Amino acid sequence: MRPLSGVAAEGRAAHEPRSRGRVASTFAAVAVVGGAWIALLLNETALGWVQRAFAVVTSGVLGVLGCATVAQGTSVVSGQFGISVVTACTGLFATGLYLIAVLLFPASWRARLAGCVVGVCVLFAVNVVRLVSLYYVGVHWASVLDVVHQVVWQSLVIAIVVAMWLLWAGRASQRPGRGGSS
């Protein structure tokens, strides 16, 4: 290992406080988002609101598609079939992982914020599509509902989260100011 020259050592020293600041702000953001996500998952009132919101939106989409469903609490029911939106059906775990991955990536804060907002919206929509499709599978192919629910959709959600993050990270790393605090 060779010692740094005077110019290289000075340049490195000038960047260390800025680098520490970025690490500290990233850690703080991850701690805040992670803490808020855990608090949401542990708060039955807030979680119930999220579950009811998914039930209402899913029932509304099914209504637009011609299904006579109604949201009753955290369930979507009709004369043919019903689904219940439990904690695992909200997509909050996958969304939380996506958010943490975005926040940990060395991109500008503007790119991180955009990635978080777009990601939450896309994952909400994906989850509604998932719930609508599970209703249809339950009505028309009840014998495969468990496989579609527990294998197909869980795998798809994981693949979608990874693909979204890779797409976002690729775009965020190409922007000027990558790694900055803008």
Looking at the predicted structure, is the pLDDT value of residue 38 above 70? yes
Give the mean model confidence (pLDDT) for residues 82-93. Answer: 92
Query: What are the φ and ψ backbone dihedral angles of 152, each rounded to 5 degrees?
Result: -65, -55
Element (H, E) at 83: strand 82-84
Query: CA distances (Å), 133 to each of 51, 58, 149, in order?
Result: 17, 10, 9
Looking at the predicted structure, is the pLDDT value of residue 89 above 50? yes
- 103: amino acid identity, one letter: L
Q: Is residue 43 part of a domain?
A: yes
pLDDT tens sequence across 102-140: 988 999 999 999 999 999 999 999 999 999 999 999 999
Higher per-residue confidence, 39 vs 85 = 85
Give the mean model confidence (pLDDT) for residues 49-71. Answer: 97
User: Cβ of 45: how many Cβ atoms within 10 Å?
Assistant: 6
Q: Is residue 180 part of a domain?
A: no
Q: Is residue 182 part of a domain?
A: no
| pLDDT score at 73 | 96
Q: Is residue 80 part of a domain?
A: yes
Give the mean model confidence (pLDDT) for residues 21-30. Answer: 71
Query: What are the φ and ψ backbone dihedral angles of 77, each rounded to 5 degrees?
Result: -130, 155
Quote the number of domains for the chain: 1
Evaluate whether 172 touches 178 at the Cβ level (below 8 Å). Answer: yes
Q: Which domain holds residue 56?
A: 6-174
Looking at the predicted structure, is the pLDDT value of residue 11 above 90? no
| pLDDT score at 140 | 96
| pLDDT score at 28 | 76
Q: State how far the Cα of 19 lies from the Cα of 15, in Å rounded to an integer.
A: 6
Q: Is residue 1 part of a domain?
A: no
Q: Is residue 181 part of a domain?
A: no
pLDDT tens sequence across 132-167: 999 999 999 999 999 999 999 999 999 999 999 999
